[in-house]
Structure 1
């Protein structure tokens, strides 16, 4: 199992993977505390839409850099088996289903941190895939990375996927309590009224 550690593509991909959740969490918290983006763009919806487009563009760049890293790294012969190829495709399929269904369940603003912009959901989403696991969008995305690594028989891809999982776990560690706090504050305000 070879990984070329001196490959710049590997490090650029890793930097992109780490940057994205850090960026959207910092920007969303900054907006929650200051409302500067909403002021700058004229409304919370417009500001959240700009953040969403930025997150999508950063995701496309991250995925491109991930694929560039995999293409510049050696393949691992152990992974050159049909069942592993099909396992990779299965991971991608399940990942897409989790991400897409999460998006449908949360809606556009629910997906793209609308709660930090004051656009709160009426109640916690508990339907599929949230009835299977917490944070299905993160884990679906992780499965997409793993599936791509398996399809490309890439040990570097498997390592980068582990890094994705760690970055997402760290993001969840900070996001979940903060989001819970936002909804608790809303519920306390409702009680006062």
Structure 2
């Protein structure tokens, strides 16, 4: 125990006295109201302006300027913007609603085997028929194997139909294996999906009737050409109505099932069809241009 002169007051409470004076000057940390951060809390949460600001000595008239007082409004930082609920450090960004796409993807599990199978089926089908048809156009091996370009085209068409059935099955199973979206699970959305399905079916069926079987299933790659490109309905309404009608069918099917997974897979269908169109359109225009040329007619 340190020595002190007789009559000298004890110094054991000096630290407490100084601490109490400082707390009265700078504000009690424990007395901050709920939802309001003190100067020390703000510095700990990353408010650099509060942490870097030098401490001012309190004036005799009251607490120092710029300090927090019990019952006063929270201070604002010119660097971090106006404080809300104690500053940006207290905001839980994990609870922020960033965008609609994030909410949509929250319903989808990309690792689900049914979803993976649907994506593979969607991307494989156009790749398959374009590769086989272009290979046939260059080699004529299918026509020689079946001894007829018509039989070869019918065989490829049958394979494409079976692959489309498999694709639709995988699409449906992927929707059924994942949750629905509550905002789409209502009679109005169901009727809207049914209307899309009807419009898509009209485009698909009318395209098939206008083109015929060989025209629908890449007969031009087998040398089976029409007299001219078809320009009647639905080809006078939009280009590639078969593809966009099929896309509308999948979109309507997804809306009828209130399925975010179906909506995402429909976007994959549309993207794959756009790539297929970029690959097929130049060739179709080229072969009918050659057919219309005088040199081709003299043959």
TM class by shorter chain equals over 0.9
Q: Which runs of 5+ in 2 are unaligned?
A: 1-103
Show the counterpart of 2:288.
183
Q: CA deviation at 1:191?
A: 4.7
CA RMSD of aligned residues (A): 1.0
Equivalent in the alignment of 1:25: 130
Using the alignment, how far apart are the partners of 1:122 and 1:116 within structure 2? 15
Q: In the TM superposition, what is the alpha-carbon distance from 1:124 to its structure 2 partner? A: 1.3
Q: Distance in 2 between matches of 1:191 and 1:67?
A: 48
- What's 2:53 paired with? none
Which residue of 68, 74, 80 corresponds with 2:179?
A: 74
CA displacement at 1:10 relative to structure 2: 0.4
Report whether the alignment pairs 1:166 with 2:271.
yes
Give yes or no for the alignment of 1:126 onto 2:231.
yes
Q: Which has the higher contact order (CA 8 A, sep 6+)?
A: 1
SS state at 1:73 partner = coil
Kindly indicate whether residue 190 of structure 2 is the aligned counterpart of residue 85 of structure 1.
yes
Does structure 1 residue 114 correspond to structure 2 residue 219?
Answer: yes
In 2, Cα distance between equivalents of 1:29 and 1:101 = 26
TM-score, L = length of structure 1: 0.97
TM-score (norm 2): 0.63
Quote how far apart the aligned CAs of 1:186 are: 2.2
Moved over 6 A (4+): none
* 1:82 shift after superposition: 1.5
Task: Report the alpha carbon displacement of residue 190 of structure 1 after superposing the two structures with TM.
Answer: 2.4
Q: Tell me the CA shift for residue 81 of structure 1.
A: 2.0
Aligned residues, how many?
A: 193
Alignment deviations for residues 93-118 of structure 1 (CA, whole Å, 9 cap, x no partner): 01111000000000110001000000
Q: Which residue of 1 aligns with 2:164?
A: 59
